[in-house]
């Protein structure tokens, strides 16, 4: 197996340590639990995933992966943290869900199974990768023609620094401190450019906002902090 160069070991270790409490809705990943219905709603409004072959890139312990499986998708989840994959497998078994979990990088999967998947989801992953453009390319390589790619990440802007890092991590404690590095955040224009260079055409984008009073996430038309994008492979 070739060395995995497009990975930050500290990032993998950071999330590996959260494996035991990943499925605790009141634990350190509670914001992920809160935003997951919004992510699934965005996907479900765009396409019908039932019977489609889907790969969830950077699946963690399987929160989004299981949601896709419950909608009838044939799901593969990949992650580089063995503890997270073990937790994902155990939780899926407990819930009676059939999910194919693998300890694998997206580059390795794209080399083994190019053009196999109908849908790729890559949520809250790109900002943790040294070369996110390469991940976008691998996502495109995994897709069949007319396949769908869904990404979510965080804009690199002053507003994002204030709200997504200072606010969410240090003040509101929605995320563990140190979850994100400002320099690794990704401007929407850059994501669109990377996708276009790999024959991924933008279909829809949406921002994600957080209401301090209701403590709920909602979609907005402004992708200037957290945002999601849907592409189709031309």
* pLDDT one-digit tens code per residue, 151-190: 999 999 888 888 777 877 777 777 777 777 888 899 999 9
Q: Is the pLDDT of residue 1 over 60?
A: no
Domain extent, residue 210, equals 9-233
pLDDT of residue 79: 97
What would the two tokens of residue 172 be? 């509101």
Tell me, yes or no, whether 185 lies in a domain: yes
Tell me, yes or no, whether 76 lies in a domain: yes
Q: Is the pLDDT of residue 85 over 80?
A: yes
Tell me, yes or no, whether 208 lies in a domain: yes
Q: How far is CA 112 from CA 98, 122, 134, 141, 166, in A?
A: 21, 18, 16, 10, 40
pLDDT-derived band at 191 (thresholds 50, 70, 90) equals very high
Tell me, what CATH number does 25's domain have?
3.40.50.150
Tell me, yes or no, whether 1 lies in a domain: no
Q: Is the pLDDT of residue 3 over 70?
A: no
Annotate 176-193 with b (16+ C-beta within 10 A) or e (fewer): eeebbeeebbbbbebbbe
> pTM here?
0.93
Q: Is the pLDDT of residue 2 over 60?
A: no
Q: Give the integer Cα–Cα distance in Å for 129 and 209.
A: 23
pLDDT of residue 168: 75
**Alpha helices in 73-142, H assignment, sequence order:** 82-94, 106-112, 132-142
What would the two tokens of residue 20 be? 């035991």
pLDDT of residue 123: 97
Q: Give the integer Cα–Cα distance in Å for 35 and 100.
A: 23
Q: How far is CA 190 from CA 75, 87, 136, 196, 199, in A?
A: 28, 34, 11, 10, 15
Q: Give the integer Cα–Cα distance in Å for 16 and 12.
A: 6
**Alpha helices in 156-200, H assignment, sequence order:** 158-160, 188-196
Tell me, yes or no, whether 3 lies in a domain: no
Mean of all residue pLDDT scores within the chain: 93
* 3-class SS of residue 9: helix
Residue partners of 14: CB distance under 8 A and separation at least 6:
176, 178, 179
Pairing of strands 143-154, 226-233: antiparallel
Domain tally for the chain? 1
- Crossing angle for the helix pair 82-94 and 9-16, nearest 10 degrees? 40
Q: Give the integer Cα–Cα distance in Å for 152 and 39.
A: 9
What would the two tokens of residue 55 be? 């790969």
pLDDT of residue 211: 79
Tell me, yes or no, whether 14 lies in a domain: yes
Burial of 116 (0-12, 13-18, 19+ CB in 10 A): middle
Tell me, yes or no, whether 198 lies in a domain: yes
What would the two tokens of residue 11 be? 């990032």
Tell me, yes or no, whether 4 lies in a domain: no
């Amino acid at each position: 197996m070739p060395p995995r160069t497009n990975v930050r070991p500290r990032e993998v270790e950071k999330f590996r340590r959260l494996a035991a409490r990943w499925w605790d809705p009141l634990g350190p990943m509670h914001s992920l639990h809160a935003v997951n219905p919004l992510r699934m709603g965005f996907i479900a409004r765009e396409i019908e995933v039932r019977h489609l072959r889907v790969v969830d890139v950077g699946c963690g312990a399987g929160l989004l992966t299981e949601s896709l499986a419950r909608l009838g998708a044939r799901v593969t989840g990949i992650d580089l943290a063995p503890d997270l994959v073990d937790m994902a497998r155990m939780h899926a078994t407990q819930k009676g869900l059939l999910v194919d979990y693998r300890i694998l990088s997206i580059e390795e999967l794209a080399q083994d199974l190019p053009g196999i998947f109908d849908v790729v989801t890559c949520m809250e992953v790109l900002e943790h990768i040294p070369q996110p453009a390469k991940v976008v390319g691998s996502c495109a390589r995994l897709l069949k023609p007319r396949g769908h790619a869904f990404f979510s990440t965080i804009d690199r802007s002053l507003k994002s620094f204030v709200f997504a890092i200072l606010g969410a991590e240090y003040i509101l404690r929605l995320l563990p401190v140190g979850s994100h590095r400002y320099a690794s955040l990704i401007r929407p224009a850059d994501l669109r450019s990377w996708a276009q260079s790999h024959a991924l055409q933008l279909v829809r984008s949406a921002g994600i906002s957080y209401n301090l009073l209701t403590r709920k996430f909602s979609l907005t038309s402004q992708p200037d902090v957290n945002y999601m994008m849907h592409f189709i492979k031309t």
